[in-house]
Amino acid sequence: MKLYRLLTGPDDASFCHKVTAAISKGWHIYGSPTYAFNSATGMMQCGQAVVKDVDGVDYDPGLKLSDY
């Protein structure tokens, strides 16, 4: 099964660390990053899709993707 996650966060080092942590766990960058202004916080937000192939796991809506 192919897992998909959209990582989001403020435009700071914490977002880069979040993406780096996912890559180190075997996730792969999927597509281009996004960048948008969050009017509620007054800050720029980043987003990056990541995917990972996992064998022997069937999809379940309760699956906690961050465990992979």
Secondary structure letter of residue 19 according to DSSP: H
Global pTM value: 0.86
State pLDDT tens for residues 12-30.
Answer: 999 999 999 999 999 999 9
Average pLDDT taken over every residue of the chain:
95
The rounded Cα 55 to chain-centroid distance in angstroms is 20
44 pLDDT higher than 90: yes
Average pLDDT over residues 17-44: 96
Residue 67 pLDDT level (bands cut at 50, 70, 90):
confident
CA atoms of 54 and 1, how far apart (whole Å): 5
